[in-house]
Chain A
Amino acid sequence: MKKVLKKFLIFFLCAGFTAAQVNYAKKVLQQVIKTFNKIQDYQADMEIIVDMEFIKMPTTKAKIYFKQPNKVKFESKGFTILPKQSLIFSPLDLLTGDFTPIYLRKEKLNNYNVDVIKVIPNNDSSDIVVTTLWVDKTKHIIRRVESIGKRTGPIFIDLNYDNNLILPSTVKFAFQDSGSDSLTEKRQNNSPQIRSLPKLSGHITINYSNYKINQGLSDSFFIEKNK
């Protein structure tokens, strides 16, 4: 009887601990969203530096416009390649949908105190298997993201911020070709005559400058893009 009670006690303690982890993680992420929601719109110049194993291309320049909740306009004179994760312009994009956040630990990241939170999608339809976020405890901004996708290897995203900005000045994407099942399968299925699929390893760095925040960008400005 004592053994059964002991097991029940351990189970309820674990369940309670997990629930507390989830609740704390949700609270941290809500603060991130609240911080970002201070920005109604922004525009910025982008400099995209590609240093990938499979592709050699010159540094390109572009301009990005964003308006809450999800209006985006992208202008580039030439050809530009961007990681799909760079299209997540708002933490809302990252944190919408059916997912479970789990608080992992607190740690120091580049002298910043951060909470490490794992975000696990609750359904199989998501392209992301798991995302880990390093959230600045003081500024409530995301400083690092590690994302593992179904069709891509792990992607590490480091975000640097200039003083007093809640938008990043530099975002560095690090790709690792882990030979994910999908890519490996695609490579194996190809005949030798067909070139092998590219290895997705390397870095893409996006430097943001000339931020103009809350300038009151009109909705029509974004509608023009779709015409």
Chain B
Amino acid sequence: MTLTLISIELIKIFKKWRTYIGFIAIGILTPTVQLALYFTGQRYVNHLLRGLQDAFVFYGNLFNGYLVAYLILHSLVIHIPFLIVLVGGDLLAGEATAGTYRILLIRPVSRLQIIVAKFFAGIIYTFILILWLVLLSFILSLFLFGSGELITFKNKLIIFSQNDVIWRFVCAYGFAALSMSTVLTLSFFFSSMVENAIGPIISTMAVIIIFLIISAIPIEFFQTLKPFLFTTHMTVWENFFNDTVDWQSIFNSSLILIIHIIVLFLFTVYIFLKKDILS
């Protein structure tokens, strides 16, 4: 029954125009970045290697699909939350706006089943959006620029061999999916409290911006709060591209994000079960 509900919710999601804004945005942005890197990417590699040409010579090509995918992931993953909340904020509030709440709830399914189905449909949308990002940023980049070693810079240059790269990307995209699921859950939570999707979208983005600002302010109190803010852990995917992967840090961050998802979802369920449906 729940699976049927989830598929129905997915159909509803993908019948809405706003759902495709995220796909279109990534579909435009990624090839644009790829085109720009096609002309300037080698300069980026030269910039990383500057200061070394006096003493060393380099053979091989570090400007390849892996580097392009890494740069795109770096630049886009910060902006993807906005594309996620467009759908997440509409999951419950959209029913209120359309006046379909009561029709939905008179069906022979419990409120709990409905909210679980909507939540998982939202999570599936998030994963599909990340998969779209993988397809365009990773697979298309490999097709256009070829493969090779991956060069990154974190205090020092790190060059990963070809056979040491793919698992890092898989884990990074997986972690990005977890981060975005947290964002979706937050927007889903706000969506349960209002009757218009604009509110949850703005609220979620406001929370993300506030948390990012708080994290950046070097005041002791804010720095104490920082480890508990989900935004702090959204960029932990970068750890997969460290020389030595700090699995403990990744595990802790994953745990904090999962706890955020569970707690926010439970709050959403509570609000939805107690909600007085008037529309």
Contact = CB atoms under 8 A, between A and B. Distances in A.
Interface of A is mostly: mixed
Given A56-B243, A79-B60, A79-B148, A149 B159 contact: no
Contacts of B42: none
B51 interface: yes
Interface stretch (A35-43, A81-89, A90-98, A106-114): A81-89
Nearest to B159: A57
Contacts of A151: 54-55
Nearest to B162: A78
Contacts of B157: 54-57, 198
A74 B58 CA distance: 11
A80 interface: yes
B153 interface: yes
**Chain A: number of interface residues, binned into ranges:** 20 to 34
Given A79-B149, A79-B159, A197 B60 contact: no
A80 B58 contact: yes
A134 interface: no
A58 interface: yes
Nearest to B242: A56
A78 B56 contact: no
Contacts of A78: 60, 148-149, 161-162
Nearest to A183: B51
Nearest to B155: A195
A200 B55 contact: yes
B57 A175 contact: no
A62 B56 contact: no
Interface string A66-81: 0000000010101111
Given A78-B148, A197-B51, A198-B52, A56 B57 contact: no
Interface in B133-189: 148-149, 151, 153, 156-162, 164
A155 B157 CA distance: 21
Interface in B29-75: 50-52, 54-62
A186 B54 CA distance: 12
B57 A87 contact: yes
Interface of B: 50-52, 54-62, 148-149, 151, 153, 156-162, 164, 243
26 contacts: A54-B52, A55-B158, A55-B159, A56-B156, A56-B157, A56-B243, A57-B158, A57-B159, A58-B160, A58-B161, A78-B161, A79-B58, A79-B59, A79-B149, A79-B151, A80-B58, A82-B58, A84-B56, A87-B57, A151-B54, A155-B55, A186-B51, A197-B51, A198-B51, A198-B156, A198-B157
